[in-house]
């Protein structure tokens, strides 16, 4: 009953086997291994983007901040949601990597609203030397609150960005979960909807530690390579990043795992709903924000369930509802879900 | 016949097996896995440093620059050799991570000379607000030219640093190779010789991508944790770093691999010497800088040997001596060495 | 009728005469002039702080960001009002000088509320490596909206900061105007109320371009000197900064000018009130935020009055109220005020 | 007998009078004063560069580092002489303002040699992601050792830069002194010789604190404005910078002062030569590096002469030669020189 995060799960055996298979003999370092071209070609194919520049790094924060840094001047501000990972969970890495740019926060507890984005951009008064200049818009898909932007919602946001000539970054740490939820193509969810660069997550969805950064305009390629090296994120034994990503993409494993994670989250949400839990938002992918009486949390914790509480602790009146964040990774089984629900 | 770099070699099976074994089930992320305490304890034991703060990162550059950043103010300068990895091969990562400090280069083509270090420190005129203030001394062991500082040489350098109240960092990307060459203890080669923080390399010596940063004074621990996160180097699935390091240290595998690499380099150097090659320095660990006639380089390349040339290309007069850098990793076999030598 | 800003006014003749007088002969550069000790002593006396470290720079932004940088680590966040000068009008200079720290904005349109500050600090979850760590609290006195914190209000804010062990910076670009408004001592408005470092403004109040940075704890002195030099803010011909400040402080000129500016602002506010204008806040120092019908703005502009509009332009219905910011500097005369009011 | 630095001298009366004259009434802030257009036009005329972007800052370091930052990426290295002001006397300000770029030092004790510059650029191996990429070349004219590049020497250096597509910056803290020494036009010494941006010094040559930054290609204008503001170098009461520069340029005062300073330095050098002093270099502008017996230094110091010693102190054998740096500013008189020489 492990629902604390999708970064707590194991590596899928297909990926591990690929790593073991790629371990034989010598390979040139720093991205010059023989596997990377295969990975690059496959991602270009998946994204219907034959010119895209494709790179691998080992952490989601590295993917986000290196991608953003290529589109942000130090005197600019990045527009993102108030609960964005880049704001809440990266310990000033975006500021560090952009050379001290600012983040302007859009008020929301889930998705950004295009009109609030518009107001925030106008509020920066571009051309006024005293304030930060408008920079990129960063959108997280799946959001940090488990919701998923529809293609229409995405396009409404990117339209605002484009109207102000601002680039768009997508934090796709849970890209596959969103894609499966929307049942659309990777191209539709990115460049066809106005996204310029995407952090394409692997780590949370069954890899060991690998994320792709995909620039639909390859003009940023060399700058990215320099920024990656300067950030100490260029792996010498790069083959092990390539190998993970190759294993992840083979046989649509990435989609299969995401689908399973989403399905189990849906099963869990159904059970919670029937048990009377209330939801912050309707869960759309593999993350659930819900609340139910403290007494049940106590029972679950005693039974060994792992997840994060919010807005309260186990101490207090039995009946008071306390929030929970529940995340299903690919390795969670229907039985785990049912075991969890049996405590309600 | 692959001698281009020790970062081109595979992961040792013992380490790969450990990774596979540690892949079962869920593990808490961000260094809170159950393997890391074992790694921490083992490294403290190996270094006879029960209070040491021990952290893992995935690249050697990350280890170096995060360690240095904890000891460098932005208005200071780091003292290092002119050929140091931090100067030549990290694309301004030390400057980036220290918040724009400077590097002051000690003239040398291998080891730093204490009197030159002394002159360089004095040349910075500490207390004069116009110039960069003296900061840490960074020593690479094995050096980038394949030489190894003796304990006496190390202590002569750190004595200069200490006389000026400057901290000392050791870039130990090839720590094990140096240790085996000196036949001393890890404590003797570090804190007993005046080293404050060491980058303890694993990647080049049979791991997939893991380096430990060991602070002998744990006062820097929390700052390091923040810098690591801010640098995007805190792994969510940290267990796979812990697991590599655990597998690396078990049964003294790290020493066994280093010994084998050094032995094969010695075998190679012996053969080259007999064949009339000349050496930049007497090889002491697993790297050789030597030169021999171009005609032999041509034969070797035709036979598929991989290594870097220096000071010339394959084009030119047959008899002209051209330099080579040859590196043995743990996976190189005596037969590879002999096959290489057979072309002379 | 020039009310656009107090940085548009001339230098007071007493200060200009002092500069001319100090122009004779040679003077040692970089703060080693013979005037600076006089300035330092006088400021220590005024602030009843015999140990204070006292420095001069030429711009208010430099004073703010150098002071803040001495108290902010790159992984921290500064707490300030949403309308603070450091947030709105310094083009990411605080981020730049702190090595890429963040600013956390307290919702307000004038003064910060202690409970909101408390909530913001707690929201950063100190000790959680994923988010920015709490850093200094920056308070602007006079605020950017023309209000003045009472001593009680100041102490309520600094008490929150101190409860979390956070240092407190005061942006005193209009320090003298606030002091005169509160009728208290400089010590009461700063260190006796929990302020650790103050930007003591001169430029807006009749100087040419000089601000003092005063650290009540001199431990930051050397770091400030290095940061000032590294920021390119150490004047070689420093005597002209010293001289301005000496002229500013002599005969309580600084208080006389602030009093005059405040008095004229009060006269202006009285007239506006009688004319039916509405106020964003009750003006307390030398800045007024008020609104009145557009038709009157048109008349004023035709008559040559200079000030900033907010929330609308001169185009539109006559009767619609449009906001204005009016600032009195020391050189504004009662006749200017009366001439302005005559258009209502 | 004040020869310690040209930044110790007073402001020329013509400039002070202009400042006093420009002090009347209100002026718009931040460069929107009515004087700045006059200054811009005059400098464009002087430099025969009608399109040039012209800005004012208050310190020489600010001029240098803001100019360089517009041409340097954080992963690049700036090429400059080992004794350059940007290396020796700016406390890492170039690294800070460029976002942590590196400086590569050309070995010299005065002027840079084109062949050494060429070797240094090639040594950076452009296109190799591991090392810093080549960035701008910075040339100081007058050099920090009192020598002046001839136009031929300048062009030989800039030709090397241009061959590698690198921009060229001139640190002209003593621009006027060099110009007078070469007896050429400002255009010849800058853009006609391949210089892209110049720090045009005023402070050391009779101003209070003002330097112009002149971009011959105005494409960098907006970036410079943002960088200046972000560096806290945009003056609110900018009219006092404009006014200084206007006074400096009027009636060719800048050339008259430089000529006088150079003439007095020549008079001093002649006298020293006759007295048997030896010179590091033949003095060409207003700075002299010479040595003579310690006993004479003692006499001079007792008589109140002010200048810097190098390579020794007043303590030691009488006859031993000790080095001196002597600088003449515009205010030094022939009588001061003769009084100095009378002690030999």
**Shortest Cα distance from C226 to chain D (angstroms)?**
7
Q: Which of D129, D62, D73 is nearest to D98 (CA)?
A: D73
C163-178 confidence digits (pLDDT tens): 999 999 999 999 999 9
What confidence category does residue D90 fall into, taking pLDDT thresholds of 50, 70 and 90? very high
End-to-end, the C-alpha distance of chain C in Å comes to: 14
C98 contacts in chain A (CB < 8 Å): 100
Report the pLDDT averaged over residues C6-32: 97
* Residue C311 C-beta-side C-alpha neighbours within 13 Å: 13
Nearest CA in chain D to C227: D91
Out of D75, D133, D226, whose CB is closest to A133?
A: D226
A85 contacts in chain B (CB < 8 Å): none
Return the partners of chain C (3 or more C-beta pairs < 8 Å): A, B, D
Pairing of strands D133-140, B76-81: unpaired
Tell whether D258 lies on the interface with A, counting CB pairs under 8 A.
no
**Does 3.40.720.10 match the CATH number of domain A255-341?**
no
As averages over each run of 10 residues, the pLDDT of chain A (344 residues) reads 94 98 96 98 98 98 98 98 97 98 96 98 92 98 97 98 98 98 98 98 98 97 98 98 98 98 98 96 94 97 95 94 97 96 95
Which of D72, D85, D92, D98 is the best mutation test for B, with the most CBs of B within 10 A?
Answer: D92
Is the separation of the CB atoms in A232 and B93 below 8 Å? yes
Q: Is B317 left (phi over 0), alpha (psi -120 to 50) or beta?
A: beta
C101-143 confidence digits (pLDDT tens): 999 999 998 999 999 999 999 999 889 999 999 999 999 999 9
B327/D246 Cα distance (integer angstroms): 64
Exposure pattern of C102-141 as b/e (b: 16+ CB <10 Å)? bbbbbebebbbbbeebbebbeebeeeebebbbbbbbbbbb
Alpha-carbon Rg of chain A, whole angstroms? 20
D31/D238 Cα distance (integer angstroms): 5
Can you point out the beta strands (E) in A285-336? 287-293, 308-310, 321-327
C179-193 confidence digits (pLDDT tens): 999 999 999 999 999
**Shortest Cα distance from B156 to chain A (angstroms)?**
31
Q: Is D48 left (phi over 0), alpha (psi -120 to 50) or beta?
A: left
- Token pair 């041409």 in the structure block, residue: D71
Pairing of strands A53-57, B102-106: unpaired
Answer whether residue B232 shows pLDDT above 90: yes
B209/B7 Cα distance (integer angstroms): 9
A229 contacts in chain B (CB < 8 Å): 61, 90-91, 93
C78 contacts: CB under 8 Å, gap ≥ 6: C68, C72, C86, C94, C98, C101, C102, C103, C104, C135, C136, C137, C138
Query: Which SS3 state, helix, strand or coil, does residue D57 take?
Result: strand
Report the pLDDT averaged over residues D43-63: 98
What tokens does D296 get? 């004479």
- The DSSP symbol for D33 reads S
Is the separation of the CB atoms in A199 and A64 below 8 Å? yes
A29 contacts in chain B (CB < 8 Å): 5, 7-8
**Shortest Cα distance from D163 to chain C (angstroms)?**
32
Mean pLDDT of all residues belonging to chain D: 97
Evaluate whether ipTM surpasses 0.85.
Answer: yes
Is the separation of the CB atoms in B214 and B200 below 8 Å? yes
Structural class in CATH, domain B258-341: alpha beta
Tell whether A106 lies on the interface with C, counting CB pairs under 8 A.
no
Out of B5, B10, B237, whose CB is closest to A23?
A: B10
Return the pLDDT at B100. 98
Which of A215-219, C281-285, D161-165 has the lowest average pLDDT? Answer: C281-285
What tokens does C120 get? 């913001």
Report the DSSP beta bridge partners of residue D290: D279, D324
Return the partners of chain A (3 or more C-beta pairs < 8 Å): B, C, D
What confidence category does residue D311 fall into, taking pLDDT thresholds of 50, 70 and 90? confident
Q: How many Cβ atoms are within 10 Å of A185's Cβ, its own excluded?
A: 13
Q: In what side-by-side order are the strands of the sheet with D197-201?
A: D53-57, D211-215, D197-201, D168-172, D133-140, D76-81, D102-106
Return the pLDDT at D5. 95
Report the pLDDT averaged over residues B157-180: 98
What tokens does B199 get? 């980058």
Out of B74, B229, B234, whose CB is closest to C99?
A: B74
Tell whether D66 lies on the interface with A, counting CB pairs under 8 A.
no
Out of A25, A27, A236, whose CB is closest to B203?
A: A236
Pairing of strands C197-201, C211-215: antiparallel
Peptide bond into C4 cis (omega under 30): no
B304/B314 Cα distance (integer angstroms): 14
Nearest CA in chain C to A124: C88
Out of A74, A75, A229, whose CB is closest to D129?
A: A229
**Does 3.40.640.10 match the CATH number of domain A13-253?**
yes
- Domain-wise residue ranges, chain A: 13-253, 255-341
**Shortest Cα distance from A230 to chain D (angstroms)?**
7
Pairing of strands A53-57, A211-215: antiparallel
Structural class in CATH, domain D257-341: alpha beta
- Cα–Cα distance list, A133 to A165, C62, D9, D12 (Å): 12, 20, 41, 40
Count how many residues are written for chain B. Answer: 344
B272-309 confidence digits (pLDDT tens): 999 999 999 889 999 999 999 999 999 999 999 999 99
Which of C66, C230, C231 is the best mutation test for B, with the most CBs of B within 10 A?
Answer: C230
Peptide bond into A142 cis (omega under 30): yes
Is the separation of the CB atoms in D59 and C236 below 8 Å? yes
Per DSSP, helices labelled H in chain A are: 13-21, 36-46, 60-69, 85-88, 93-97, 114-123, 151-163, 175-182, 186-189, 221-230, 239-249, 253-274, 294-302, 334-341
Is the separation of the CB atoms in B111 and B153 below 8 Å? yes
Answer whether residue B125 shows pLDDT above 90: no
A118 contacts: CB under 8 Å, gap ≥ 6: A160
Alpha-carbon Rg of chain D, whole angstroms? 21
**Shortest Cα distance from C163 to chain D (angstroms)?**
32
C41-66 confidence digits (pLDDT tens): 999 999 999 999 999 999 999 999 99
Angle between helices C239-249 and C36-46 (to 10 degrees): 40
Nearest CA in chain B to C227: B75
- The DSSP symbol for C306 reads B
What confidence category does residue C222 fall into, taking pLDDT thresholds of 50, 70 and 90? very high
A30 contacts in chain D (CB < 8 Å): 129
Q: How many Cβ atoms are within 10 Å of C259's Cβ, its own excluded?
A: 18
- Cα–Cα distance list, D169 to C6, D89, D153, D233 (Å): 37, 17, 15, 19
Return the pLDDT at B311. 86
Tell whether A59 lies on the interface with B, counting CB pairs under 8 A.
yes
C169/C158 Cα distance (integer angstroms): 10
Per DSSP, helices labelled H in chain D are: 13-21, 36-46, 60-69, 85-88, 93-97, 114-123, 151-163, 175-182, 186-189, 221-230, 239-249, 253-274, 294-302, 334-341
* Residue D325 C-beta-side C-alpha neighbours within 13 Å: 13
Q: Which of C303, C301, C296 is nearest to C277 (CA)?
A: C296
B230 contacts in chain A (CB < 8 Å): 90-93, 96
* Residue C69 C-beta-side C-alpha neighbours within 13 Å: 32
D29 contacts in chain C (CB < 8 Å): 5, 7-8
Which of A75, A100, A222, A223 is the best mutation test for D, with the most CBs of D within 10 A?
Answer: A75
């Amino acid at each position: 009953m492990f629902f604390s995060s999708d970064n707590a799960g194991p590596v899928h055996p297909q990926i591990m086997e690929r790593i073991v298979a790629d371990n034989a003999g010598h390979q040139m370092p720093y991205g010059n291994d023989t596997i990377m071209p295969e990975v690059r070609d496959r991602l270009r194919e998946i994204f219907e983007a034959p010119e895209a520049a494709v790179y691998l790094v080992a952490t989601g924060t590295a993917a986000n901040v290196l991608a953003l840094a290529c589109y942000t001047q130090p005197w600019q501000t990045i527009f993102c949601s108030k609960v964005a990972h880049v704001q809440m969970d990266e310990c000033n890495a975006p500021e560090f990597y952009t050379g001290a740019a600012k983040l302007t926060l859009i008020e929301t507890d889930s998705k950004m609203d295009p009109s609030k984005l518009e107001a925030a951009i106008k509020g920066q008064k571009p051309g006024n030397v005293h304030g930060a200049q408008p920079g990129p818009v960063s959108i997280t898909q799946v959001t940090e609150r488990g919701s998923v932007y529809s293609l229409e919602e995405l396009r409404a946001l990117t339209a605002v960005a484009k109207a102000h000539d601002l680039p768009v970054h997508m934090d796709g740490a849970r890209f596959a979960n969103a894609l499966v939820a929307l049942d659309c193509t990777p191209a539709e969810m990115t460049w066809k909807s106005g996204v310029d660069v995407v952090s394409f997550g692997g780590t949370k969805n069954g890899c060991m530690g690998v994320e792709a950064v995909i620039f639909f305009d390859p003009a940023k390629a060399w700058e990215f390579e320099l920024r990656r090296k300067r950030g100490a994120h260029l792996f010498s034994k790069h083959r092990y990043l390539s190998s993970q990503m190759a294993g992840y993409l083979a046989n649509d494993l990435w989609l299969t795992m995401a689908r399973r994670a989403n399905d189990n989250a849906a099963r869990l949400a159904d059970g919670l709903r029937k048990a009377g839990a209330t939801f912050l938002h309707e869960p759309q992918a593999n993350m659930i924000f819900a609340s139910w009486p403290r007494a049940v949390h106590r029972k679950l914790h005693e039974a060994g369930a792992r997840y994060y509480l919010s807005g309260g602790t186990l101490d207090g009146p039995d009946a008071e509802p306390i929030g929970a964040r529940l995340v299903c990774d690919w390795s969670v089984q229907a039985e785990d879900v049912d075991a969890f629900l049996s405590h309600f």
